[in-house]
Structure 1
Amino acid sequence: MLIRIDANEPRASEITPRAVHENRRLLLGALAGAALPAWAAPQALTGTRSAVPGAVTMEKPTAYKDATTYNNFYEFGTDKADPARNAHTLKTRPWTVEVEGLVNKPRRFDIEELLKLAPMEERIYRLRCVEGWSMVIPWVGYPLAQLIQRVQPQGSAKYVEFVTLADKATMPYVGSRVLDWPYTEGLRMDEALHPLTLLTFGMYGEVLPNQNGAPVRIVVPWKYGFKSAKSIVKIRFVEHEPPTAWNGAAPQEYGFYSNVNPAVDHPRWSQATERRIGEDGLFAKKRKTLPFNGYEAQVGQLYAGMDLKKFY
């Protein structure tokens, strides 16, 4: 059963274009290349509220079209429109995720196993990108902690590293010089275990479109968008802070933590304000950026005593 976080939020049918919603089963079959996931059935969109405090925003979700055509996914191009144009080449079945490193139960999960590992929830999270734009997206998944607990991390495991697919045959920009491949990201263990960190398989009640990180990604709503690794093929538990793609490419611009912080500017632009995609016109007034993207009450204690300008 899919657990809907907030019954007062609009349904996917009210956000997704009508033609897409009414043909959900055909769309899901085309995207997933597999049987319709149980959580995506229309009747599954009703359920109980999650007990996770502060897990949602009451803001209006971004239009489905905007959320699926304005993306960062450099494996498919550096322009925001490139992923939607190019990601049709990505093959999401068969797909496995290897879990390894400092765990007592390392194993390889088939994507169908991951889909059934825990009850799905729909969570309406803000997404804030370092370039200064933001969205509000209903994601579908379950806490990453559900997976972590099953593989039993050892006491020496302090960080979780995510490795994404790097397939030149299906990802035309893999091999470009903009980044080292494969794309990697990482979280501290307490960040990975936080109930807001979502292992994500869908959005707007649909399976993830290829350009949004199909078939599985993470969503860490209090961090800038590039921290939420897409198209994950490996999760590794390690003792020391793992190298990450953007931190390696430009460490003076992209720190390991990358918490949304209006007081710490990117060297090339301010982080004090943001532009909501689909809402703000070119000359419209921008929104003030919220510390931790508005999730400070839920995650601020993770960084108590840290210098957040040094650990940016």
Structure 2
Amino acid sequence: MLLKIKKSYEISENLITPLEVYHHRRKFLKTIGVLGIGSVLGLPLLEAVENTPAANVVINQNTYPYQKNPNYSQQPLTPYAKASSYNNFYEFGMQKEDPYHRGKLLQTSPWSVVIDGEVQHPIKISLEDILKKMSLQERIYHFRCVEAWSMNIPWLGFELKDLIALSKPKGNAKFVLFETIKQDTMPAVKNPSLAGYIRFPYHEGLRLDEANHPLTMLAVGMYGKALPNQNGAPLRLVVPWKYGFKNIKSIVRITLVEKMPVSTWMGLDSSEYGFYANVNPNVAHPRWSQANERFIGEGFSFERVPTKMFNGYAEAVSALYAGMDLKTNY
């Protein structure tokens, strides 16, 4: 008889919890004067998540061949209807439901990614060629937003390091800068007030050893199907031990650089959104605690569950930060 030993990063199956909507980042934007009054008065986010009928949520029917990786199998899963209708993608607006309602405006074909910077062989590669070169697998990761809500999502993708390796990084490459697509059809590109005048394209960054870590993925799908537009189609970053805003969506450029890049949220307020953004229950956000979270699963509850160090992946990634002050390097 096979016995399944629960990994340290797997949560108990009885934690089918809750959901609450946090408006903290919008309050932050209002505080620094980049959010108009009208964008604060939209639909209540709670209603958007809880009242999305599953029958009205269409799963992207495009499929890719993949294998399930049993080493990453956290349960219970967040329902697809919630994972695909409750998220941040500011190019489509500030409300959690905006990406779901407006994501169809994203043009995802044709799609290519440029890898440049401190590399021996800069390349521009199409999504089709990426899929031919990469072996896809499904991994169920715990996703933790900086707003203190979380999900368990089955991502479909490949390890980022395999794509970076195609360009042969130079020895002086220390960091990776990611850039998302900017299209005139995106509502907040066309009307910047819809996203509090955030400057696009959106940028994020990782240290090169973080990017090359085997947990770091580029996802092309979720729940066994291709990514829906609102979740970052056709290619998004997934770094499970970091807060969700690090997981940049709809990537079109990956640039290797020598110096630490400035990401979009760092540029808005580096005192609140640091470069590393590792999930850390011991380091509070300046305006709220990160010690616990609300897991979005079946049903609805106000129960809170403890947040784990590095989102439960400490055993795998803590060595990356040996000797670092994680409060200073937040």
Fold agreement, TM-score > 0.5 = yes
If asked which structure has higher relative contact order (CA below 8 Å, sep 6+), I would say: 2
Distance 1:148 1:154 in 2: 11
Q: Which residue of 2 aligns with 1:63?
A: 79
Q: Which amino acid aligns with 1:173?
A: A
Contact 1:280 1:286 in 2 (8 A): no
How far did residue 170 of structure 1 move? 2.1
| Counterpart residue number, 2:88 | 72
Show the counterpart of 1:302.
320
- Is the aligned partner of 1:290 residue 2:308? yes
* TM-score relative to the length of structure 2: 0.79
Query: Equivalents in 2 of 1:143, 1:290: separation in Å?
Result: 23
Q: What CA RMSD, in Å, does the superposition of the two structures yield over aligned residues? A: 2.1
Whether contact under 8 Å (1:260, 1:293) holds in the other structure is yes
Does the CA-based 8 Å contact 2:79-2:298 persist in structure 1? Answer: no
Contact 2:74 2:142 survives alignment (8 Å): no
1:198 alignment counterpart: 217
* Residue of 216, 229, 248 corresponding to 1:210: 229
Question: How far apart are residue 279 of structure 1 and its match?
Answer: 4.5
Percentage of matched positions with identical amino acids: 51
Confirm whether residue 114 of structure 1 aligns to residue 130 of structure 2: yes
Unaligned runs of 5+ in 1: 1-5, 7-16, 29-35
Query: Whole-Å Cα distance in 2 between the matches of residues 204 and 57 of structure 1?
Result: 12
Q: Secondary structure at the match of 2:133?
A: coil
Flag the 1:99–1:203 CA change in 2: closer, same or farther, 3 A. same
Partner of 2:185: 170
* 1:191-246 deviation digits (Å, cap 9, x = unpaired): 00000000110000010000000010110000000001100010000000011000
- Report if the CA contact (8 A) 2:69-2:139 is conserved: no
Given the superposition, is the C-alpha separation of residues 170 and 202 from structure 1 closer, same or farther in structure 2, using an over 3 Å criterion? same
User: Is the 2:68–2:137 Cα contact (8 Å) retained in structure 1?
Assistant: no
- Report the count of equivalent residues: 275
Aligned to 2:22: none
In the alignment, the residues of structure 1 paired with residue 68 and residue 285 of structure 2 have an alpha-carbon distance, to the nearest angstrom, of 40
Paired position in structure 1 for 2:205: 186
Greater shift in the superposed pair: 262-271 or 228-237: 262-271
Report how far residue 105 of structure 1 moved.
Answer: 1.1
1:140 counterpart letter in structure 2: L
- 1:224 pairs with 2:243: yes
> Hey, what does 2:329 align to over in structure 1?
311
Structure 2 letter corresponding to 1:145: K
Provide Cα deviations, 1:70-105, integer angstroms capped at 9, x if missing partner.
011000111111110111111100111111100011
2:180, 2:255 → 1: CA distance? 11
SS at 1:56 equivalent: strand
Distance 1:156 1:280, change over 3 A: farther
**C-alpha deviation, 1:302, in angstroms:** 0.2
The counterpart of 2:150, out of the listed 134, 137, 151, is: 134
Whole-Å separation in 2 of the counterparts to 1:138 and 1:48:
9
Q: Secondary structure at the match of 1:59?
A: coil
Distance 1:289 1:190, change over 3 A: same
TM-score (norm 1): 0.83
SS state at 2:72 partner: coil
Preserved CA contact (<8 Å) 1:179 1:246 = no
